Structure 1
Amino acid sequence: MRLVNLTIRNFRGFGATGETIPLDGDLLLFFGPNGFGKTSLAEAIEWLFYGMTKRRQQGEGYSRSEYSNSFANIHGGTPTEVSATVEIAGRRALLSRKLGPGEASTTFVDGTPAAFSSINVSPIEAFYPVVAQHGLQTFIHSKPKDRRDAICAAFGLDELTALKNALDSARASFQRTPPRSVSDARRELAAQARTLAEIAETRDLARRWQLSPMQVKTAEDTQALLDAAKALTGAPCPTVDEALAKLRETRQQASRSVFDAGKLAPNDGKSAPLDAGMKAVADALTAVERTIAITAATTASTYKSAFLELWKAGLELSPSGDQCPMCEADTLTTAKREELSKRLAHNVDRMQKNDALVAAVAAVKARIASYRSHVREFGVDELAVEDLEQLRRLSRRNPTN
């Protein structure tokens, strides 16, 4: 925004004439004896944009009554008004402020009551470019820090300074106690650095990732990883996704070159451990099937364990007599006691069979684990479907079937 001219009526030392003062220049100099209105002119600009002046604020801190009604000219002319033509965003506008009752004021834009913000003029206290004469002495005799703060305020740098201080504080806090995700990522990068150090294209990257603090250069490191992917796959890798896809494909090809299922044949008794393992697993599964059948038959003829446990505890509480420990009625006859005892005995038998079933399942797991260990002796991961089918044929007693 640029001030073009200023018109002052009945404000402070200015009367009702309302002469227009030109301000459209890169550097303006006002000079004259004391009492000729230099300070009033500066305060008129303050009042126009802020509705208050710094001197008035300071004076009211000492005596509100003494500084009351100090905006209007002492001779009482009306209206008390300050107007300025301003140039903003390529257009000119007339901004005005008129004093009302009780020193309230109203703002106008091109003669219509409106807030200055309606044309994107929003003066804020943090940006206060007016330094009037009465403030110069305070500025000169203030401490260096206070002078710096006053200059920052005059040039609108307070918000930038506050932002810089906040960023510095956040950076220091981040370095002291980084988020958990960042710490985890750093540990992962450091672990990968040992492998990357063996590749020429990522050797410098690995060195920086192992420093303390770690040095990560996103663009440079990404390009180094893409170059390494190109060297390992022998194909261009312009993006990270393409590099990952080509690396996975290359890894699968390497696995196939290590284990070619088509070249395997059962000889020298190498498939014997697999045959024995398969038979052991089958036998163990048969034992589980048999145990399940026995357990199921037993379960069908007994009460639920929790209900029988309740009766067991009741009989222990009432070892003799006809009184039922549940309802306290004389219904627990000798015949009833014998029936409950038989049911409890059957329940014990069922629990024992359940234990046998658990043991049989554990045996199957052990057999399967042993069989898998024999398979791993081939040293192969990520087998294709045709490789697994060939392995199944090798595991049978007659490989031709």
Structure 2
Amino acid sequence: MLPRRRAKMKHRIRQIDLQGFRGFGASLQSFTLPESVVALWGGNSQGKTSLAEAIEFLLTGHIARRELLASAKDEFSRALRNAHIPDSVAVFVEAHFVCPDGVCRRLRRTLTTDYDGSTDCVSKLEIDGAGCSESDVEARLGLRLLHPPLRAPVLAQHTLSYVFTASPTERAAYFRAVLDTQDLEDFRASVSMLPAELPAPSCAGIKHLSALGNIAELATVLKAIRNAKTKQTIERALATAIQTILDSIGVTAKASFIERIEQLDAELTGRRAQAFPIELFSRKPLAPWTDPIGGLADALTIYRREKAAISSESQRLVALFESALAIPTIHACSEPTDCPLCGTASTLTPERVAFLKEQLTANEAYQAAEKAALEALRATNAQLLTLSTAALAALPRFTTVTAADRRTRGFTVRRAEALSGHAEGSRRWAAASRALWRTTKRYCDHIAALRVGIEAAINGIAAWDTDTDLLNGVADAADRFAQLETATASYTAAVDTISGAIMAAVDQSVQTTGWEELIALARDPAAALQALNKLREHQQTVKALEKALREIDVAIGKVADEKFSDLSVQVLAWWERLRPGEPTFFSGVQRRGTKTRRTVDVKVALSAKEDRSDIKLRDAVAVFSQSQLHCLGLSLFLARAIDGGAGFVVLDDPVLTSDDDFRPNFASSVIEALLDAGVQVVVITQDHKSWKDIGHRWEHRGAAQFQIVRENPVAGSEIRGQGDALATMLAQARPFINSQDSEQRKEGATRLRRIIERFCKELIVKSRHANGDAMASITDYDGKAYGDFSAQALALLTLDPSHRGKLNAAYGYVTPGPHDDTPPSTAQLKVAAGDLNRLKKDYLP
């Protein structure tokens, strides 16, 4: 028995409005639903699935069929918008939900962008006219949606078959959604990703340790290296490793650890050089720019000022002035006195002596300024020489070797390309080398020219007047140095592109792979031990996570088993309502094994005894017929819906039309159990008998019936009330009308003749009602032929003069149909049906 749930008000759909969605056209379709049962009937291709998917789209923003069935998502491009409606027509689905709090709320979803290839559709969601988010469907309306791919309580044919046609992984995902264990799976997935997300320890020592695995001779020594716990043990292990390699190449290892390192290093260098002089790629770091100007600018400014303060004549007579002032009487002169040099009387006045003293003082300042300027020029010259020398020293080593020597040693672009396997990288390196050489030469030539000018200034500063050119030239040298830095960086990047591959190729050719890394580890055992400890810590963390993952798997398995057991009880209850007492019946849903996560089996029981004892278990897919699989899919869906607390279910053709034996069980036992569980039932079916049966059986519970009719693709599907018998008859006749089989067309003619008679009767009854005859009924014309009331009906066709002729012509087309050997053509039947449909719209809307 289905477990009774606590009485609780659930969601109910009060009204559905839709426009432009899939098979529905530009005309707004709206219908009101009772709280109990709604049955909608429609023939093939009338819009039944469109209605079911419209409700699914409203709730989820997508249709599950695209995820479940499409081999490529682009098959559903532009699948949601009716292809025949104008672009200006909005496509939307809206439902009025009575929520558990008793308040009626409107949920509306408008399609803004249809599916396009692999791109999802886009829609706008509103609650009571205000925009909202997807999470508000549950947060504000309280509508609980389940996990993908089947989130909404909407059952369609593709949903029924999915669980049996899906791959094992997809089936497991489906049951995780059914059992609501996706949160546990998400948690497991998060834990399983942690090892990959853990930042792997990274340092030079770890890279070196990894490279040791490439040394075949160390296969037995590696364990000792990896297990080392102290500096002493790692040193011993590394010393043993080096000795092992030296022994393998026929070199006697020296006694000390340091000596062995140097032995291996020498062997490595020598062997590499035999294959390719890779050291010629190397270069010294480029020394940073140091401004060579220093105090030169200030020294030259002072020198120019002091030089201008003393005349050239004074500079020429400085020695004479010094000699005169060396005479005490002249130096201390306070009144005019005779000049001792020329004998002129009273020539040397105190004023003239003071002038001589001023000239000597000015000359001393000039001499000091000249000395400072010369020292600054020499300092700048030396600094420029240093910068030029450093630039040349920073050139790659191969630039110091002649071209002939490079070719002899195999240092060529072609050889680099062959070893690196990187043609483009080798060409970039060659181009970068040329650019670096040219940039360095221009820089050094510029400095050399500056130094020539400085040397000229030093040798003749009194006549030198190009100090501004020198200062500008030094500033230009700074710009050239920046260009040199760029060229150097480009060279380094180009070398990095190929040097690693060349080194690996060289090491492989001379069998020295891993030697350089071993030498690096041996030179710094402390760093090697630190790298080992980092690796151990990381491995311990990974192992702890892996253990946690195994424990999580066990726990999830136990939870899944319990839920599978509960689910199986409920599925069996629904199965027994649909197919009671069968010897082959549903048994359970279970994992394939206790350690299995990704494979879920649906088992059935086979029994040859009436009491269903001594059962044999088999897989459902292998044993069940299509009809049985269909019923099992329905049972699974209903069990999931009830367990998920659904307030309503939408069932699109829940029972196969061919299942005559089980349709009554659905209409009675299944719907009764759903109603008892407080679930509103919406059934969409192409089986007219089931539609009528549900309507009659549940009339006492307020069941409503509607018809889905699509008279032409442009107008789209329409939803009509159950009283529209003519629409139902026309829809039922359409497959026979379109048939190429003569017997089928005879049946179509018979059905159209009945429709004509029905139309005339309804038209006459409508007229009688309008004239006050409230008791008029179609049954008044039971047993009467068309000729008995046709004149009365034709007289009522007054809206258009052509209408009487159309009715007579239609009757003329179909009257011979049931009796003649040659039935009406498909074209005749289509014309008759079209005319009748238009007459119905005009006179019996």
The TM-score, its normalising length taken from structure 2, stands at: 0.18
Q: Which has the higher contact order (CA 8 A, sep 6+)?
A: 2
Specify the structure having the higher radius of gyration (Cα).
2
